[in-house]
Copies of this chain bind each other. A is one copy, B any other.
Amino acid sequence: MATTLIKKGRIVTAVDDYSADIVIVDGRIQTIGKNIAVGTDAKVHDANGLLVLPGGVDVHTHLDWEFGPTHTVDTFETGTKAAAFGGTTTLIDFCNQTAGKSPLVGLEDWHKRRASACVDVGAHMIMLDVNDQSLADMKTLVKREGVTSFKLFMAYPGVLMVDDGALFKAMRVAGANGAMTCIHAENGPVIQVLVQEAVAQGLRAPKYHATTRPSILEGEATHRAICLAELAGTPLYIVHLSAGEALSAVTEARDRGIPVHAETCPHYLFLTAQDYDRPGFEGAKYVMTPPLRDHNHQQHLWRGLKTDDLQVV
């Protein structure tokens, strides 16, 4: 029985702010209070003048992940170590179904890869094939495997995108089993038209990544995802929301009491499409999807954080 005492820290949580000692036994908090006595074998940290915070939760990571010809730089070992140094003690990582295989196989493979993690790790499941078997597997994932969120793509036709019918089917199964549906919300087919034209015209500089994925197409897809989720009866979570139009759709739905949630990311709050114009290869470092937006979108995002229409960064 290993005992740790954190003394006299200023404990700040989502709702409280006070000074106290914390006693941890075998990795779990046992007691919080004033002037707690422990045995001489306890490990003692003096937190006087320091903040003591709950560990952070990062709900959107891709560790040790292949996406087309690329592989993420971070493994679970390096990624979770970095997280721990920053005070993030829980990750929810994206694992994925491989087309043609069961999502359960994808989860099994993910469990192998995440073995080297040094903080708590949970999984969202990315669904690529929606059919009778994979819909049944979704139920198994929720009930047996503890995977309670499923991500689907409205972008990347022919690669990750599922059509609206498949999306709706998956949403219903998620809803019926108490799970959440996460959506990458951009109109893939229209973006594909714009991208193919830009490429055909030789417009391949980083800035065309932004012009071929206009914000209105994120707004459109977000609205569509909300309509389908409302009909299907699933809570919805929009990942990496970047556009004012998309936030408007989320706000409107939340005002009606529909269970819609959304996250944005630091880059959308602090960077803009002008960063694509940086010289040399610098601009290419800002290529992400959805792309960076014009400055006016940032004002909407900050508003959304203030009014709780965006719940996660």
Contact = CB atoms under 8 A, between A and B. Distances in A.
A42 interface: no
Interface in A8-61: 13-15, 23, 30-34, 36
Interface residues of A, number: 43
Contact of A254 (B32, B228, B307): B307
Interface of A: 13-15, 23, 30-34, 36, 157, 163-166, 168-169, 187, 189-190, 192-193, 214, 216-217, 219-220, 223-224, 227-228, 230-231, 251, 254-257, 303, 306-309
Contacts of A220: 223-224, 227-228
Nearest to A308: B308
Contacts of A169: 193
A274 to B, nearest CB: 22
Nearest to A304: B257
A142 to B, nearest CB: 21
Contact of A31 (B15, B33, B217, B254): B33
Given A33-B23, A190-B165, A227-B217, A251 B257 contact: no
Given A33-B30, A33-B32, A187 B216 contact: no
20 contacts: A13-B15, A14-B15, A15-B15, A31-B31, A164-B187, A165-B192, A166-B189, A169-B193, A187-B224, A190-B231, A216-B230, A216-B231, A220-B223, A220-B224, A220-B228, A223-B223, A223-B224, A223-B227, A224-B224, A256-B303
B257 A255 contact: no
Nearest to A20: B31
Contacts of A192: 165
A31 B34 contact: yes
Nearest to A223: B223
A243 B305 CA distance: 27
A248 B230 CA distance: 17
